[in-house]
Amino acid sequence: MGAYDVVFRQVFARMDPERAHHLAVSVIRAIPRLGLTGLVRRFTAPDPSLAVEAMGLRFESPFGMAAGFDKDAESIRGLWALGFGHVEIGTVTAIAQEGNPRPRLFRLLADRAVINRMGFNNRGAAHAAENVRREAARRPRPIIGANIGKSRVVAVEDAVADYRESARLLAPVADYLAVNVSSPNTPGLRGLQDEALLGPLLDAVLEEAGSTPVLVKIAPDLDDESIDAVARLAVGKGLSGIIATNTTIGRGGLATDPAIVEAAGAGGLSGAPLKERSLEVLRRVRAAVPADYCVIAVGGIDTAEDAAERLAAGATLVQGYTAFLYRGPGWARQVTRGLARIRATTAVR
C-alpha cells in the first residue's frame, strides 16, 4: 500500500466525495500558481516515444484526462504538470447551470467505481472559453479538448441552437470539440444519439467549428446496431473521431452491497465495472470506421496494461478519470511510464 492509498483510506474515503473533489482541484490548481509546474514535470513528462499524431494534432502521449474532472477549464496546466498528455474540459453548456441537487456523487469502494448525477454543473461556455483561450496561449501545454452538452433549461427540440452556441464560443480556442449526447444525467439527452436527431445537431456544430476537429461521445448502453449507425453517421458527416464511452446506467456485476448501490440512486456508473463493456464498444466502433479514424477509448482504464489493451484494440488515444480518485496525483505518470515499458518490451520481442 502506497502513501496515497493511506491518505485516501484515512482522509478522502471518509469525506463527502464532491468536497474531496474540490479539495483535489484546489491542490492541482496550486501547482502552477506556486510556480511548481516545471519541477513537477521533471518527474511526470511522458517518454517522447509515446507521442501520437491524430486529427492533425500532436499529443505528447496517448493518455489524457477525460471530461468531467475540469468542468470550467480551471485545472488544465496543473493536470498537464501531473503528466496528462491532453485535457478534455467540461462538459460545458451554453447557459451556466448549477447541476442536480446534492448529494450527486457517490463512491463504490469495493468496485473502484463512482456513480454520479452531477447534471453538467458549470459556469457556462463563455466562461470556459476565456479560460481555454488563456491556457491555449501558453507554451508548452497539453492538447485541450472542449466537451459540450445541452443546457438543462433548453428543450430537446431546441438543442441544435444550444450546441451551436457552445461550439461558436469554444471552437476558436480549443484544439478539438467533443459533442456529448450520452450523459444519463440530463433529461432527454441520450435520445439525441438517435440518427434523425443527431445528424442536424452535428451539422450545426461542424458549421461553427470550421477547421477545429469535432468528435462525438457515445454511451456504452447502445446496442450494436445503434453503435454502427452512429459510427456511419460520424464518418459520413466528416467528424474527426468518436469517443467510446461515457458512463453507464447499468448496475450489473457489482461487488458493492446492493443496499449502498440502491441508496446512491440514479446516475452514470464509471470506473472498473465499465471496463469490459467499453472495450467491446471500442472494438465495435473500430471495426465500423476507417483504419486511420481517431477513436478515443475511455471507461474503466486504471493501469498501464488497461491503456495498452485499448491501444491494441484500435484506440488512437485513451482517457481516464475515475481511477484518478483512487490512484492519486501520480496516476498519469504510472500509466505513461508503464506504457513506455510495455512498448519497449514488445519492441525487443
Contacts of 319 (CB under 8 A, 6+ apart): 63, 64, 65, 66, 86, 88, 243, 296, 297, 298, 301
Comparing CA positions, the residue from 323, 315, 278 lying closest to residue 84 is 323
Q: Is 33 exposed, middle or buried (0-12, 13-18, 19+ CB in 10 A)?
A: exposed
In contact, 198 and 222? CB cutoff 8 Å? no
- Nearest CA-CA partner of 194 in 156, 155, 168: 156
Output the CA–CA distances (angstroms, integers) from residue 324 to 44, 104, 147, 243, 329, in the order listed: 15, 18, 19, 19, 7
C-alpha cell of residue 253: 456485476
Radius of gyration of the chain (CA): 19
Task: Return d(Cα 67, Cα 76) in angstroms, integer.
Answer: 11
Percentage helix, strand, coil, to 5, in the chain?
A: 50, 15, 35
- Sign, CA torsion 190/127/41/3: negative
Q: Which residues pair with 268 in a beta bridge?
A: 116
Q: Write down the catalytic residue from 182, 183, 240, 270.
A: 183
Q: Is 211 a catalytic residue?
A: no
Instruction: Return the DSSP state at 138.
Output: S
Catalytic residues: 183
